[in-house]
Amino acid sequence: MVVVMQERATDEQVQQVIAQLTQMGFDVHRSTGALRTVLGAVGGNRQFDTRLLEVFEGVQEVVRITEPYKLAGRTFKPENTVVSVGDVRIGGDEVIVMAGPCSAESEEQVEASAAAVRRAGAKVLRGGAFKPRSSPYSFQGMGEEGLRLLKSAADRHNLKLVSEVMDLSQIELISKYADILQVGARNMQNFTLLRELGRSRTPILLKRGISATIEEWLLSAEYILAGGNMNVVLCERGIRTFESYTRNTLDISAIPVIHKLSHLPIVADPSHGSGRRDMVPSMARAAVAAGADGLIIEVHTDPDHALSDGAQSLYPNQFDGLMAELRIIAPAIGRAICLEPVTRRGWGV
């Protein structure tokens, strides 16, 4: 349920409504927009008469939310959420590009990838140190040493860092190094992990599960939001369909659907979404054209020898070319993007 306060409602009136809702057993989440305050009430007694609240001073209306997700929906928060990662804003005007290797493999590889993606205009370095591999015999990641390499390369190149957290026991460690914690597709419904991430205030990149519906995905986001962490970025990374030509089917249509249903930003991952380097640029262009708030792309300086996901990793020069194309597409739909490769003119947005 959502309680929409009047534009002129005082803080005291808001507090009185919060106290009443709390007394009725609801958990209350406050969203203060440019014009008015909206209170999201979850849990509690669903059957009660909403008029009990409508008569409170300062209340404009009380709306029952029919969707199963509450805090993730636009009814609770009509304005877009912008997730700030230092000075990088995901969900604002600018399309944010995150790029880097699938996994950290060595100091040289991490350094060369960070330099290349930053030069081309990425603002966030991606890279896994703990890898969820389909086979237990595949490379499992470098662990803390990988995080250390990623963090120092990110700092050297003025990039933020996103890295995957696979289970509860890794949250504290990875939070020391990464600015954004990635929840991988295989973990989208690891509810104990999601609940714990709700207690954190570190931004979360929540990937869509391999066979998750959009509603299930938003309900997973709800677990994090319900814990009080409103810094959630959704990531469409392709779903499993009957098509076997591509590794996954990138669901571009999820982008406008999410924008309609939710205030949370959404980025697209054309690398896992296609599984093929030759398709990544076209899928990336399509995602930006469809309104994605950002992209996360695998880039490797020597993809033919990568320890994971080499076939879908772009060569640095391909990534440069893609960024140049995105600089044409983003403004065409009213979005900003880092205007020039940094070596030439510094950041320009």
Residue ranges in the chain assigned as alpha helix (H): 11-23, 51-54, 107-120, 144-156, 171-177, 191-199, 214-226, 254-261, 270-274, 280-289, 316-332, 342-345
Least distance in angstroms from the C-beta of 210 to ligand PEP: 8
Q: Is 207 in the site for ligand PEP (CB under 6 A)?
A: yes
Report, in this order, helix, strand and coil percent for the chain, each rounded to 5: 40, 20, 40
What does the CA dihedral 129, 132, 138, 144 come to, rounded to 10 degrees? 20
Please answer whether residues 235 and 296 qualify as being in contact, where contact means their C-beta atoms are separated by less than 8 angstroms. Answer: yes
Binding mask 103-132 for ligand PEP (x = CB under 6 A): -------------------------x---x
- Cβ proximity to ligand PEP, 21 vs 104, nearer residue: 104
Calpha distance 281→325 (Å, rounded): 9
Q: Which does 288 bind (CB under 5 to 8 A by kind): ligand PEP, Mn ion, none?
A: none
Angle (CA) 183-188-191 rounded to 5° is 100
Least distance in angstroms from the C-beta of 238 to ligand PEP: 8
Task: Report the amino acid identity of residue 217.
Answer: W
Tell me, rounded to whole angstroms, the distance of Cα 192 from its chain centroid.
19
Least distance in angstroms from the C-beta of 31 to ligand PEP: 29
- Cβ proximity to Mn ion, 44 vs 132, nearer residue: 132
Least distance in angstroms from the C-beta of 186 to ligand PEP: 6
- Interacting residues with Mn ion between 83 and 142 (CB under 5 A): 102
Of how many residues is the chain composed? 349
- Interacting residues with Mn ion between 293 and 312 (CB under 5 A): 309
Residues that contact ligand PEP, how many (by CB under 6 A): 9
Binding mask 208-247 for ligand PEP (x = CB under 6 A): -----------------------------x----------
Least distance in angstroms from the C-beta of 70 to ligand PEP: 26
Residues 1, 59, 99, 102: which binds ligand PEP (CB under 6 A)? 102
- 330, with CB counted inside 10 A (0-12, 13-18, 19+), is buried
- Interacting residues with Mn ion between 237 and 276 (CB under 5 A): none
Residue ranges in 37-163 assigned as alpha helix (H): 51-54, 107-120, 144-156
Please answer whether residues 266 and 254 qualify as being in contact, where contact means their C-beta atoms are separated by less than 8 angstroms. Answer: yes
- Cβ proximity to ligand PEP, 31 vs 248, nearer residue: 248
Q: Is 185 in the site for ligand PEP (CB under 6 A)?
A: yes
- Cβ proximity to Mn ion, 31 vs 271, nearer residue: 271
Residues 151, 272, 277, 335: which binds ligand PEP (CB under 6 A)? 272
Calpha distance 211→172 (Å, rounded): 29
Least distance in angstroms from the C-beta of 116 to Mn ion: 17
Q: What's the order of all strands across the beta sheet hosting 59-63?
A: 26-32, 37-43, 2-5, 59-63
Residues 91, 184, 265, 281: which binds ligand PEP (CB under 6 A)? 184
For helices 191-199 and 214-226, what crossing angle results, to 10°? 40
- Cβ proximity to ligand PEP, 41 vs 212, nearer residue: 212
Closest residue to Mn ion, judged by C-beta, is 102
The secondary structure of residue 198, as a DSSP letter, is H
Least distance in angstroms from the C-beta of 53 to ligand PEP: 41
For binding to Mn ion (CB under 5 A), which residues are involved?
102, 309
